[in-house]
């Protein structure tokens, strides 16, 4: 694994804070009805992404996830202004306003979505790895899912095939405790999700998903295994989301105390404490970072606000690669 | 010209395309060591090896999704379903991922993939193994749906489907794999979306596709004895549909019968009926007739199955009805 240096900690702090504030801004503009549809926010889970990004090579490795997917593409290098614009439904968005909150993609930055059907992305992730193996490329796919998705058949079929074909893929369950309003305990007799991999003889294990260091260590090992021909790994990141499943979630299934307990091990706070303890930066330096984050979020909002709506043709032009596809006319 | 079986035409199309393009592979249940459940991939494992002709476990959802993922970054997979009845457990991957990927990514990811296998009834297989989902798949923007009716079309259309940059549903029939037909040795392709006039006529237009079109051809022979001249259009591609071929024929004959081996509700026949009444209403001299299966799951008993399926007699009756005979 690459060493976790001062600059890594500082990057983690700034990245995770930006992701947190980016999501907070989305919540705010959602309430103002500028962003519509469903909105699933990542607050609390940032260490999973930060640790992963330290462990991979974003130039060749690939990320795919479900619908809690606004900040992963930003981590992979996508301009956050374009992600914000996508949520506004603007033509400058990552999918030209056709995808919305749940469907962010970036071919240029190896981010393969952004998928709205629980568990539907799991075979796709293995498929990316299949192609890399087929073409003898040196890439590894990181395939994310929530704790709800592991109850889908797609996970089990994919685990079996990924092991059978020895694909270079790392499956990562972000167990934030709740599949919408249903706790893990109410979805299966066995609550240690990582053990699902054992039935397929897949190297599997639990990880402290609130610590970017622990995540980076576990993902590094798994990526190295995949890249050297050792096949898939299944990691269960034990993490937590502070906000509801989506914006319409009243969260009656958990207590405020529970949320507060997790905030005590908040990944951003953890990283900030290390930075101050080890004197990687002063309180004043931190304030400069905080201001930079605030300004960038503002810039994203302004870009999204000022961007034009997509043209009518875009919803037709993007369906088929065939340019003269004869759609049925629908209006008189 | 030489004569080969439908299954050989399918095999030749896949093999030729795999020879010319290394990104193409074939995946499915029993496609490799068993040479295909219906021997449509006979010899392909030997020629292309296990990295390009892959046997899968019975995991349609899993392998369909893996194929779609691989198509996002450079492969052009051919996924065989042993029958399209089994595609239902993979339909999330087909509808939500293969068909939608390009649009919901704002045009970033096209999915060049072919899902192929037999459709519709194949003897007394009863309710779960006799279904035709052409209209289901054709309903979904993002997909193309091809249903050949003979070896020549199967080869030319399948080659075009494999080279197509969009997802294609390619539907065959267990009962056609043994059909023989003339297929040239030289390479050829048939473009998707172009219908074929199987028989020219002047009194009535019969539109059909897939294996059931044989019943229309039989009926036309019968009707000719009575002096009725039928024009038979083989759609070949259900989506995109060759509307002009249908409209031009209706303008000539002024009468339309549609024959489809599927349930009537929301069928391909229903869609054609809408398009014809909207576009060439004034040319119609009689209400359009459609012939489909019965509006029930397929029965097992041979007596009931015969009644459930459309046949040449049904076509003759429908033609006489639109001719007021």
**Mean pLDDT score of chain B, rounded to an integer?**
98
CB contact under 8 A, B70 and A116: no
Per-residue b or e along A269-289, where b marks 16 or more CB atoms closer than 10 Å to that residue's CB: ebbbebbeeeebbeeeebeeb
CB contact under 8 A, B102 and A320: yes
Q: Apex CA B307: angle with CA B301 and CA B312, to 5°?
A: 130
pLDDT tens digits, one per residue of B181-209: 999 999 999 999 999 999 999 999 999 99
DSSP B179: -
Pairing of strands B196-199, B230-234: antiparallel
Long-range residue pairs from B81-84, CB within 8 A, at least 24 positions apart, any chain: B81/B28, B81/B115, B81/B116, B81/B117, B82/B28, B82/B29, B82/B30, B82/B37, B82/B117, B82/B118, B83/B117, B83/B118, B83/B119, B83/B122, B83/B129, B83/B174, B84/B117, B84/B118, B84/B119, B84/B131, B84/B132, B84/B133, B84/B169, B84/B171
Both tokens assigned to A143: 């395939």
Boundaries of every domain in chain A = 6-317
- Residue B47 annotated in active site: no
Phi, psi of A179 (to 5 degrees): -90, 100
How far apart are alpha carbons B100 and B140 in whole angstroms?
9
Q: Note the pLDDT of residue A329.
A: 80
Mean pLDDT of A132-138: 98
- Specify the DSSP element, H or E, that contains A224: helix A212-227
| Residue A161 in contact with partner chain B when CB distance is under 8 A | yes
CB contact under 8 A, A321 and B166: yes
Instruction: Tell me: pLDDT of A74 over 90.
Output: yes
pLDDT tens digits, one per residue of B49-82: 999 999 999 999 999 999 999 999 999 999 999 9
DSSP-assigned states of every residue in A65-96: --S--SHHHHHHT--HHHHHHHHHT-TTSTTT
- The residue among A243, A239, A223 whose CA lies nearest residue A168 is A223
Both tokens assigned to A113: 């979505």
Instruction: Tell me: pLDDT of A331 over 80.
Output: no
| Residue A131 in contact with partner chain B when CB distance is under 8 A | yes
Report the residue from A99, A131, A320 with minimal CB separation from B75.
A131
- Shortest Cα distance, chain A CAs vs residue B60, angstroms: 9
Mutation target vs A (from B48, B54, B103; most A CBs, 10 A cutoff): B103
Both tokens assigned to A313: 């043709």
Both tokens assigned to A89: 């439904």
Q: For the CA atoms of B68, B70, B75, B81, what is the dihedral angle to 10 degrees? A: -40
Pairing of strands B3-5, B180-182: antiparallel
Sheet of strand B289-291, all strands in order from the earlier edge strand to the far edge? B196-199, B230-234, B204-208, B256-259, B289-291
Q: A105 contacts in B (CB within 8 Å)?
A: 104-106, 108-109
Q: Note the pLDDT of residue B166.
A: 98
How far apart are alpha carbons B6 and B179 in whole angstroms?
6
- Residue B243 annotated in active site: no
Q: Which of B8, B12, B29, B60 is flagged as catalytic?
A: B60
Mean pLDDT of A220-239: 98
Q: B240 contacts in A (CB within 8 Å)?
A: 325-326
pTM above 0.90, yes or no: yes
Q: Report, at the CATH architecture level, how domain A6-317 is classified.
A: 3-Layer(aba) Sandwich (3.40)
DSSP A140: -
Burial (CB count within 10 angstroms: exposed 0-12, middle 13-18, buried 19+), residue A108: exposed
Q: Note the pLDDT of residue A214.
A: 98
| Residue A153 in contact with partner chain B when CB distance is under 8 A | yes
pLDDT tens digits, one per residue of B89-115: 999 999 999 999 999 999 999 999 999
Length of chain A: 332
Q: Note the pLDDT of residue A281.
A: 97
Domains and CATH numbers, chain B: 3-182 (3.40.50.970), 196-322 (3.40.50.920)
């Amino acid at each position: 694994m690459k060493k976790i240096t001062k600059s890594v900690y500082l990057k983690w702090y700034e990245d995770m804070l930006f992701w947190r504030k980016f999501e907070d801004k989305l919540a705010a503009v959602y309430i103002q009805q500028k962003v519509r549809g469903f909105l699933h926010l990542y607050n609390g889970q940032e260490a999973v992404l930060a640790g992963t990004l330290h462990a991979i090579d974003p130039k060749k490795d690939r990320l795919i996830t479900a619908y809690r997917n606004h900040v992963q593409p930003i981590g992979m290098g996508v301009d956050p202004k374009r992600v914000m614009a996508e949520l506004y439904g603007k033509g400058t968005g990552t999918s030209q306003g056709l995808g919305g909150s749940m469907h962010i993609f970036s071919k240029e930055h190896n981010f393969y979505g952004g998928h709205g059907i629980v568990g539907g992305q799991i075979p796709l992730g293995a498929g990316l790895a299949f192609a890399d193996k087929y073409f003898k490329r040196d890439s590894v796919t990181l395939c994310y899912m929530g704790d709800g998705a592991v109850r889908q058949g797609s996970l089990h079929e994919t685990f079996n095939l990924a092991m059978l074909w020895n694909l270079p893929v790392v499956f990562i369950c972000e167990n934030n405790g709740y599949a919408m309003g249903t706790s893990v305990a109410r979805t299966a007799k066995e609550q240690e999700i990582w053990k699902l991999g054992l039935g397929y003889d897949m190297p599997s294990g639990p990880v402290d998903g609130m610590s970017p260091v622990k995540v980076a260590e576990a993902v590094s090992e798994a990526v190295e295994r995949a890249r050297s021909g050792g096949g898939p790994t299944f990691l269960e990141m034990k993490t937590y989301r502070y906000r509801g499943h989506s914006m319409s979630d009243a969260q009656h299934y958990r207590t405020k105390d529970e949320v507060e307990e997790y905030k005590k091990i908040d990944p951003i706070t953890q990283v900030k404490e290390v930075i101050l303890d080890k004197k990687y930066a002063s309180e004043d330096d931190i304030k400069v970072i905080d201001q930079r984050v605030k300004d960038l979020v503002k810039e994203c909002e302004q870009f999204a606000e000022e961007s034009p709506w997509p043209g009518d043709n875009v919803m037709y032009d993007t369906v088929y690669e065939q340019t003269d596809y004869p759609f049925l006319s629908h209006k008189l | 010209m030489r004569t080969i079986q439908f299954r050989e035409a399918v095999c030749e199309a896949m093999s030729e395309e795999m020879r010319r393009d290394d990104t193409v592979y074939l995946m499915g249940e029993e496609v490799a060591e068993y040479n295909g459940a219906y021997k449509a991939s006979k010899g392909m494992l030997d020629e292309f090896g296990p990295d390009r002709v892959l046997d899968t476990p019975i995991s349609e959802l899993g392998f369909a999704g893996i194929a779609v993922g691989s198509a996002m970054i450079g492969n052009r997979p051919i996924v065989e379903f042993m029958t399209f009845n089994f595609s239902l457990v993979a339909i999330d991957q087909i509808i939500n991922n293969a068909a939608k990927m390009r649009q919901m990514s704002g045009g970033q990811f096209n999915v060049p993939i072919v899902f192929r296998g037999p459709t519709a009834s194949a003897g007394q297989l009863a309710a779960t193994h006799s279904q035709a989902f052409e209209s289901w798949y054709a309903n979904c923007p993002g997909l193309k749906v091809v249903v050949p009716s003979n070896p020549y079309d199967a080869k030319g259309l399948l080659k075009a489907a494999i080279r197509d940059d969009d997802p294609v549903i390619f539907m065959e029939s267990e009962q056609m794999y043994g059909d023989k037909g003339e297929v040239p040795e030289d390479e050829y392709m048939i473009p998707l979306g172009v219908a074929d006039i199987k028989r020219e006529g002047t009194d009535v237009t019969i539109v059909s596709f897939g294996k059931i079109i044989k019943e229309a051809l039989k009926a036309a022979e019968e009707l000719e004895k009575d002096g009725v001249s039928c024009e038979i259009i083989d759609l070949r591609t259900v989506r995109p549909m060759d509307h002009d071929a249908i409209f031009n024929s209706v303008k000539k004959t002024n009468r339309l019968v549609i024959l489809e081996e599927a349930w009537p509700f929301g069928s391909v026949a229903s869609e054609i009926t809408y398009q014809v009444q909207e576009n060439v209403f004034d040319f119609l001299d009689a209400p359009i007739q459609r012939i489909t299966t019965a509006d029930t799951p397929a029965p097992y008993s041979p007596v009931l199955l015969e009644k459930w399926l459309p046949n040449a007699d049904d076509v003759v009756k429908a033609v006489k009805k639109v001719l007021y005979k």
